[in-house]
Chain A
Amino acid sequence: MATILFDGVAYGMLLFVLACGLAVTLGLMNFVNLAHGAFAMAGGYATVLLMDRAGWPFLACLPAAFIVAAAIGLVLERTLYRHMYGRSPLDQVLFSIGLVFMAVALTDYLLGSSQRNIMLPDWLQGRREILGVNVGIYRSFLIVLCGALAIGLQAGLMRTRFGSRLRAAVDDARVARGLGIPVATVFAATFAVGSGLAGLGGALGVELLGLDPYFPLKFMIYFLIVVTVGGTSGVMGPFVASLLLGIADVAGKYYLSSALGGFVIYVVLIVVLALRPNGLFARAR
């Protein structure tokens, strides 16, 4: 029981890091970006390739995955995404599905369609008994790292000058521009950081979620659930939603059969959205 809860929390924390970039672009900037998983995939493949071909240690790969995904995100934002802000949701859906399809096809073509794995360093493997609960060391590592990231993000969004500029730019881009806030730069930087975090999540998730070219499509729904259920009130709503989702998914698959447990999360999603269409923690408008 406690082990399941623990695994669910670790899984939820991982989902949060993967999805928090989307929480900002979709939740705050109102951009329906279905291609978010492609950045996570980029981070995951960067890690796999660096470890396999260049022999980098796992910990050194994590910042590299962040930088690779953030760089791709920045380039795409400057060239393509910025033309799509403010367009209708249908256009944004078509645009980002198109990006996903291209990313899947290119990855399949360049790197092959097989499932990729990594070898974790020895000190992250194995399980240990802590306070009577049997926990995996890698999962504890995930919880500590992702928890720290969540706190840092919340503080960054609420306490720093950049965070208040971002919130101002999101609330009313025109007035923000009039006050001298460089809205385009703020959006680009935010998008890059969000993509980078997705890349980091992808790197951390290779061990738990697996990695193949269809990763962006397989996990698209999870990211979207985190954001739509969490609502758009900053990063704390998505954080709670990811923990709930992680625990519900792990527990559902454990207590029900794995086939039946698969749709627990979708039922939760539909029920939540039917009752609260703007998510659990909706922002007052």
Chain B
Amino acid sequence: MTRGQTIAAQGLARRARWRAPEIVFWVLAFAALLLPPGKHLLLNEVAILALFALSLDLILGYAGIISLGHAAFFGAGAYAAGLFCKLVTPDPLAGLVVGIAAGALLGLLTSFLVLRGSDLTRLMVTLGVALVLHEVANALPQWTGGADGLQGMVVGPLLGRFDFDLYGRTAYAYSLATLFVLFLLARCIVNSPFGLSLMAIRRNSLRASALGVPVNRRLVAVYTLAAAYAGAAGALLAQTTAYVSLEVLEFQRSADVLLALIIGGAGWLYGGLAGAIVFKILQDTLASNAPQFWMFWMGLFLVVLALVGRERLSGGMRGLLARVARR
């Protein structure tokens, strides 16, 4: 190994080191399983949104692709898992794999559309793909149940032993474990040379290609990967609620996940996770009174955030964590 390679390898190793706050975060997340029943349904939703936001972070925060239609892959995963459960086997893990595969396949097919053009073109294409899927799902009621949703899913017990109960403890454990495994994978990926090349593309794709980074191949790869993650999140939602409706493909879902990611800050893996927690808690407290108020506050938050600048919010959060880590 040359000296330069050694230094690069050391730099990567330093990025990949586990820090104390991270370990505390995951211990707390798993400790929440021991809480008395009552909050696990909400926690399950948080875990699913966190996985979905993590997926968006991979393309937006790391590769710099703006998407307004990320719900397309979420919905593809949800319907694939739902149909697989009804038609083939009720085993949840097999369904999860099918959901991931469906998301990844759709991601691979549509990734070639986001390679060209400006941010605006990408925005429109991603939005268009999600809308097409929404219309397709709406137009095939014999498969998807149309506006009534996909009903009659009976999800089998997890690993053949743990039934999905009404309180959602199994559901939360299942979603959290999936989130943790996929998070570990994403952590390895973004701290690899591959992850660094993605950040180079986001900063300046022309220079990245001049340095020998195969820009288009990297973008296709990360888009497919993110779509697979979104498919996993969709499959989790379908299985833990035993229901899939057209809502999984709606624009609102793409906007929600974008907002959750922006709250936590794009460009670091915990951004999506932290954002999902804050978003769901806010939604749970505000929206229970009146849905319009929730929409209003969400809008106000976005406007203020855009005017003040996102960097200050996420920078503040990261600075806080860094200070805690140094103690």
Chain A positions within 8 Å of B, measured between CB atoms, are 26, 32, 80, 83-84, 87, 89-95, 97-106, 108-109, 217, 221, 224-225, 228, 257, 259-260, 262-263, 266-267, 269-270, 273-274, 277-278
Contact residue among B121, B139, B299, B304 (Cβ-Cβ distance under 8 Å from A101): B299
Asked whether, in the complex, the Cβ of A221 is within 8 Å of the Cβ of B118, the reply is no
Q: Which residues of A contact B125 (CB under 8 A)?
A: 269-270, 273-274
Are A266 and B296 touching (Cβ within 8 A)?
Answer: no
B8 within 8 A of A: no
Interface of B is mostly: helix
Other contacts beyond A221-B128, A224-B127: 13, CB < 8 A: A80-B307, A87-B306, A89-B123, A90-B119, A92-B306, A94-B306, A95-B303, A95-B306, A98-B299, A102-B303, A104-B292, A104-B295, A105-B299
Near A by CB (< 8 A), chain B positions 279-319 give 292-293, 295-296, 298-307, 309-310
Interface, chain B (partner A; CB < 8 A): 60, 66, 68, 112-113, 116-121, 123-125, 127-129, 131-132, 135-136, 138-139, 251, 255, 258-259, 262, 292-293, 295-296, 298-307, 309-310
Cβ contact within 8 Å between B139 and A262:
yes
> Is B135 a contact of A262 with CB atoms below 8 Å?
yes
Other-chain contact of A277, B118, B127, B262, B296 (Cβ < 8 Å): B118
Chain A nearest CB, measured from B67 CB (Å): 10
Measured between beta carbons, the chain A residues less than 8 angstroms from B298 are 98, 101
Q: Tell me whether A101 and B138 are in contact in the complex, defined as CB-CB below 8 angstroms, given that A225-B124, A278-B117 are known contacts.
A: no
CB pair B132 A93 closer than 8 Å = no
**A158 CB → nearest B CB, Å:** 24
A98 touches B295 (CB 8 A): no
- Within 8 Å by CB of B295, from A89, A95, A101, A225, lies A101
Q: How far apart sit A224 and B138, CA to CA, in the bound complex (Å)?
A: 22
Evaluate contact between A98 and B117: CB separation under 8 angstroms: no
> Which residues on A sit within 8 Å (CB–CB) of B136?
263
Give the chain A neighbours of B307 by CB distance below 8 A. Answer: 80, 83-84, 95
Inter-chain contact A273/B121, CB cutoff 8 Å: yes
- Chain B residue with Cβ nearest A105: B296
> A217, B251: Cβ atoms under 8 Å?
yes
Across the interface, do B139 and A259 meet the contact criterion of CB distance under 8 Å?
yes
Indicate if the CB atoms of A270 and B129 lie closer than 8 Å.
Answer: yes
Chain A: CB-nearest residue to B266: A90
A84 CB, nearest partner CB in chain B, Å: 7
Q: How far is the CA of A266 from the CA of B126 in the complex (A)?
A: 11
Asked whether B293 lies within 8 Å of A105 as measured between CB atoms, the reply is: yes
Q: Inside 8 A of B118's CB, which chain A residues have their CB?
A: 277-278
Inter-subunit contact A221/B306 (CB<8 Å) = no
Most buried by B among A26, A262, A277: A277
Knowing A84-B306, A274-B125, the reply to whether A260 touches B113 (Cβ < 8 A) is: no
Enumerate chain A residues within 8 angstroms of B116, measured Cβ to Cβ.
274, 277
List 6 tightest A-B contacts by C-beta distance, closest first: A98-B302, A277-B117, A101-B299, A95-B306, A105-B296, A102-B299
Chain B nearest CB, measured from A173 CB (Å): 19
Contact B66 A93 (CB under 8 A): yes
- Selected A-B contacts with CB under 8 Å, 5 pairs: A32-B120, A94-B262, A101-B296, A105-B299, A278-B117
Distance of A197 Cα from B262 Cα, bound (Å): 33
